């Protein structure tokens, strides 16, 4: 029951944050910003739910505790920071709770990032380091995080981040210590943090390459969601910034939010080992339909722009026919392109499946022309060996002399 307290505490913290920021007059953004805030709240709520479930069912695995800690810190410390903002905006003088809220808000982000971006990848899926050789990465992350947290906790004046211009005197601050980010030692700790982050990524890669069986499926699921969260979002954001295409920026946000919500869910599924083998189908479909969608969008936009330009050159105005023709073109190209992309994906990423299909195709061709039973028996055994790859292959044939005619009496 204690594990499930994470969920109501997170919800209470997020609700308090929303009410306090509204009371301070700092909410009320546009519709897109409000929607993004709601999606973020739901995404980190998944951390609370899955973390509670894993703590209840796998209490010895620290992964559940990490997820629950991330959700708790976000909910409670966000509420504390919002309370400090509300007090300073409405009263101008902080009370003890506002001081603590602003103080914790000033450093908890770095601890939360260390848990989510370094220790979660390092310990996934069994809660243990890959080997003792990776202990320095965990220690380095701890040193870097501790240094950053301590520097931010000891600043002389605590900034009220959501209310610029306000500051709170730190009762445990060091006199003359300004913004932690302006200190050279802060840059050193930040560099160590980044090195530890790269070490965590390397640990995931090495663990994936060494994994077999169930652990292999767990790592596939984790890697897939991480690629969606980081790779897809970063790629679309970079393309959006380079081209100025607003809808790509929106796509980047959607991908990052899908990845954010999916990360704790994927971790929970992997650790509880629920329907792990579906991930192979999901990855295959993503590799096929992702590039296929991109190609069809490019064909559609290219055809639409070209046809509209042609109509304007001929008639002096655009035409709805361009939209109809472009739609018909991508409809006609869908199946041929899908088959080609599927074959390319199988050839590059699913070589065993691709080779097995070619072996079976070659055997079926020979089967139509071959009449030698001994030769076919040997070919059949080789086909089974190449495609199914069993430990042993035996072919048993019934002696024609002992075969009974259909319908013969006993």
Tell me, yes or no, whether 153 and 233 share the same domain: no
410/408 Cα distance (integer angstroms): 7
Asked whether residue 159 is domain-assigned, the answer is yes
Asked whether residue 29 is domain-assigned, the answer is yes
- Is cis: bond before 10, omega within 30 of 0? no
Asked whether residue 283 is domain-assigned, the answer is no
Global confidence as pTM: 0.69
Which of residues 188, 210, 232 is at a domain's end? 210
Asked whether residue 138 is domain-assigned, the answer is yes
Contacts of 314 (CB under 8 A, 6+ apart): none
Tell me, yes or no, whether 22 and 43 share the same domain: yes
What are the distances in angstroms from CA 4 to CA 38, 183, 207, 224? 22, 41, 31, 28
Low-confidence stretches of the chain (pLDDT beneath 50): 354, 408-410
The tokens of 149 are what?
A: 């947290």
Tell me, yes or no, whether 70 and 145 share the same domain: yes
Residues comprising the chain, all counted: 410
**Domain span holding position 232:** 214-276
The tokens of 78 are what?
A: 């966000």
Instruction: Please give the distance of CA 265 from its chain centroid, rounded to a whole number.
Output: 10
Asked whether residue 407 is domain-assigned, the answer is no
Contacts of 322 (CB under 8 A, 6+ apart): 303, 304, 307, 308, 311
Tell me, yes or no, whether 127 and 12 share the same domain: yes
Tell me, yes or no, whether 25 and 123 share the same domain: yes
Asked whether residue 113 is domain-assigned, the answer is yes
Tell me, yes or no, whether 385 and 338 share the same domain: no
Asked whether residue 409 is domain-assigned, the answer is no
Contacts of 234 (CB under 8 A, 6+ apart): 252
Q: Report angle CA 230, 276, 222 to the nearest 5 degrees.
A: 20
129/219 Cα distance (integer angstroms): 14
Tell me, yes or no, whether 168 and 272 share the same domain: no
Tell me, yes or no, whether 261 and 374 share the same domain: no
Cα separation of the two ends of the chain = 69
In this structure, are residues 148 and 190 in contact, taking their beta carbons and an 8 Å threshold?
yes
Tell me, yes or no, whether 56 and 135 share the same domain: yes
Give the pLDDT of residue 320: 72
- Tens of pLDDT, residues 261-299: 778 888 888 887 766 556 566 666 666 766 777 777 777
Give the pLDDT of residue 401: 59
Question: What phi, psi does 317 have (nearest 5°)?
Answer: -155, 160
């Amino acid at each position: 029951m204690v594990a499930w307290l994470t969920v109501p505490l997170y919800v209470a913290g997020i609700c308090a944050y929303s009410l306090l920021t509204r009371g301070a007059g700092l909410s009320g953004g546009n519709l897109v910003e409000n929607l993004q805030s709601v999606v973020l709240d739901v995404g980190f709520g998944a951390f609370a739910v899955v973390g509670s479930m894993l703590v209840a069912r796998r209490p010895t695995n620290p992964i559940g505790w990490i997820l629950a800690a991330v959700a708790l810190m976000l909910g409670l410390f966000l509420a504390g920071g919002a309370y400090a903002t509300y007090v300073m905006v409405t009263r101008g003088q902080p009370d003890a709770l506002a001081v603590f809220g602003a103080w914790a808000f000033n450093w908890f982000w770095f601890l939360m990032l260390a848990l989510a971006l370094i220790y979660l990848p390092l310990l996934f899926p069994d809660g243990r380091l890959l080997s003792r050789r990776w202990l320095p990465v965990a220690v380095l992350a701890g040193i870097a995080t501790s240094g950053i947290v301590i520097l931010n906790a000891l600043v002389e004046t605590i900034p009220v981040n959501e209310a610029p211009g306000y500051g709170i005197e730190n009762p445990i601050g060091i006199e003359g210590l300004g913004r932690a980010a302006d200190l050279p030692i802060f840059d050193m700790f930040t560099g160590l943090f980044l090195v530890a982050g790269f070490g965590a990524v390397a640990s995931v890669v090495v663990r994936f390459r060494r994994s077999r069986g169930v652990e292999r499926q767990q790592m596939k699921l984790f890697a897939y969601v991480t690629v969606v969260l980081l790779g897809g979002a970063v790629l679309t954001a970079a393309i959006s910034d380079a081209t100025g295409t607003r809808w790509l920026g929106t796509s980047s946000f959607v991908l990052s939010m899908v990845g954010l919500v999916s990360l704790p869910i994927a971790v929970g599924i992997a650790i509880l080992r629920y329907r792990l083998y579906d991930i192979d189908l999901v990855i295959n479909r993503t590799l096929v339909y992702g590039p296929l969608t991109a190609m069809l969008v490019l064909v559609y936009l290219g055809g639409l722009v070209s046809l509209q330009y042609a109509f304007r050159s001929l008639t002096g105005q655009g035409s709805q026919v361009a939209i109809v023709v472009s739609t018909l073109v991508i409809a006609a190209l869908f199946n041929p392109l899908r088959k080609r992309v599927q074959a390319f994906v199988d050839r590059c990423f699913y070589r065993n499946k691709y080779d097995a299909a070619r072996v079976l195709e070659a055997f079926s061709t020979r089967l139509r022309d071959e009449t030698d039973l001994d030769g076919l028996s040997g070919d059949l055994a080789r086909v089974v060996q190449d495609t199914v790859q069993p430990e042993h292959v035996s072919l048993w044939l019934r002696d024609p002399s002992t075969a009974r005619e259909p319908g013969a009496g006993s």
